Amino acid sequence: MTNIKAFSARPFTRRAALTATGLALGTAALPGSIKRARAADRTQITFASANFYGKETIGQIADIYNQSQSKVQVTYVQLPPPSSSTEVHQALVQQLARRNGTPDVFTQDVIWIAEFASAGWALPLDSYFGASVQKDYFPGLIQACTFRGKLTALPWHVDSGMLYYRTDLLQKAGAQVPTTWQELTETAQKIQQAGGAKFGYLWQGKQAEVLVCDLVEVVGSAGGGILAPDGKTVLIAEAPAVEAVQFMHDTIAKSKISPQDVLSWDEEPSRGPFTAGDSVFLRNWSYVYKIAEDQTASSIAGKVGVAPLPHFPGKQSAACLGGYQYGVNAHTQNREAAIDFITWMSSPDTQLRIATGLGLAPTRPAVFDQPELIAKQPFMHTLKDVFVGATPRPVTPLYPQVTLALQSAVSRALVNGNVQAELNRAKDKIAAIVG
C-alpha cells in the first residue's frame, strides 16, 4: 500500500508504487505454486481507492486477489477516507486527467460516474459485462453505473443513510422507534431531559459532501428534491426543501436535540459520541453497525437498532444513495488484467467478504440473501428495501459544482437561520451551472 502523498505530490510511476510497497520483490507472502510466479512475470496494475476499512482493509482484499492467481499483481494506492469525498475526487481527477493509464483501476463515488464517463476517463465496460452479467446486480445500480447508454462503472457496494437508535433508552422511555421527525424530536428531548443521554440526535452538518447526503434525505422526506428529473428545474428553494432545512437548523437552535458541534462533524466525529453511549439517535451509513456492535470499540454493543430515517407527516422516508463503484481507466495499457481484477472484486464471494469484513453492503441481491450475511450483518437484510430504494443525488457531469453550491448555501442557512434567502441563492447558482 502506498499513500496519498505518493499519489498526488509527484507523477505516479508504477516503479515508485512498487518500490514504496515492497511488492516488486514481494513474493515471500505468496503461497505454494503461486509463489513461483514471480512478480516480474505478472502484469502489474495499480488500484486507487478511498480508504475503506473495518475488520479488513481494501489493501488486504487486493492482496487476497494477488494470492489467488498468478497472472496479475495489484498495487493498492490508498486515497483519503470516503468522508473526505472532495479530496478523493481531486486526487482521482488529477491522475485521470493526465490520460496516461495510471491508475489502471479506481473506485468512484456514485456521484462521479457521469463526470468521469463524460470526460472519457472511464472505459465503457459493456463488452466485458453484458446483459447476462448485469442482470445479477440491482437494476437501479446498473442504471447509476450507466451513462448515455454505456456501462462505465461496475457495481461494488451500495450505501444509504439510516437511523441508528438505542434500544435500551427507547424501551426505558416507553417510546417506539420514531417514524416522523416530530416523534424523533419528542423522544430525544424526553430522554435528554430525564438524563438518559447527553445528545438527542447526531447528524453531519460539516460543509462537506455528507451534508448534501443529509440534505437529500430530509428534503426527500418532506416530499421535495434538489433537481427535477429533467436535470434543469431546480427545486431547492421550494417549500419542502425550506421546511427540511429549517428542521435541520432547528435541531440545533430550537429543539436542541443536536449539539452545535454537528456543524463541524462529518461521519466519524458524529459516530464517536453515539458509540460512546452519549446519544439516543444517529444518522449515518451502514459501516457504523459493525463498530457499534463491537464490544472493544463501543460501549453500546447489544443495544443498537437500525431503522429507516423518519419523514414529515404524510410523506415518505428517504435515504441518500451512496456507495462506490469500480472503474477502469480508459487509457490503461493493461485492460485484460484490470477487467480480471474487477471481475474478482465484484464477484459474489468478494462482495460477501467485503460486507462481513468491511461492513459495506453488496450490490448483488443474491449476496443480500446469503445466510452468512444475515447472521453477521442482520440489518442489511432487514433494510434491503432502503438500500434498493435510495434517492440519488443529482446525476450530472457538473455534479462537483452543484455540490459545492449546495454545501455553502446550506451551511450558511444552518448557521444564520436565513433559510429561504440562502436557498434562493443556491437555486440561482445551480440554475446557472446546469442551465
Interface ranges with ligand GLC (CB under 6 A): 82-83, 85, 109-111, 159, 209-210, 213, 285, 322-323
Q: Are 154 and 339 in contact (CB under 8 A)?
A: no
d(CA 217, CA 286): 15
CA 262 to chain centre: 19
Return the number of the residue (96 or 358) whose C-beta is nearest ligand GLC: 358
Shortest distance (Å) from residue 93 CB to ligand GLC: 15
Helices (H), 39-163: 58-68, 85-96, 113-118, 131-134, 139-144
- Which of 287, 394, 342, 307 minimizes the C-alpha distance to 137? 342
- Which of 157, 111, 161 minimizes the C-alpha distance to 285? 161
Return the number of the residue (128 or 137) whose C-beta is nearest ligand GLC: 137
Q: What cell was used for 63?
A: 492482496
Return the number of the residue (59 or 82) whose C-beta is nearest ligand GLC: 82
Return the number of the residue (214 or 293) whose C-beta is nearest ligand GLC: 214
Q: Cell 450530472 belongs to which residue?
A: 396
Shortest distance (Å) from residue 278 CB to ligand GLC: 22
Other beta carbons within 10 Å of 84: 19
Return the number of the residue (213 or 355) whose C-beta is nearest ligand GLC: 213
Shortest distance (Å) from residue 287 CB to ligand GLC: 8
Shortest distance (Å) from residue 206 CB to ligand GLC: 9
Beta-sheet pairing, 159-160 with 321-322? antiparallel
Shortest distance (Å) from residue 152 CB to ligand GLC: 17
Shortest distance (Å) from residue 248 CB to ligand GLC: 16
Return the number of the residue (110 or 291) whose C-beta is nearest ligand GLC: 110
Shortest distance (Å) from residue 335 CB to ligand GLC: 27
Return the number of the residue (178 or 322) whose C-beta is nearest ligand GLC: 322
Helix 239-253 × helix 399-416 angle, to 10°: 50
Other beta carbons within 10 Å of 369: 12
Q: What cell was used for 303?
A: 443495544
Shortest distance (Å) from residue 350 CB to ligand GLC: 18
**Which residue is at the shortest CB distance from ligand GLC?**
322
One-letter amino acid at 274 equals F
CA 219 to chain centre: 19
Return the number of the residue (129 or 387) whose C-beta is nearest ligand GLC: 387
- Which of 274, 333, 285, 291 minimizes the C-alpha distance to 309? 285
d(CA 358, CA 351): 10
Return the number of the residue (44 or 160) whose C-beta is nearest ligand GLC: 160
d(CA 219, CA 202): 17
Shortest distance (Å) from residue 175 CB to ligand GLC: 29
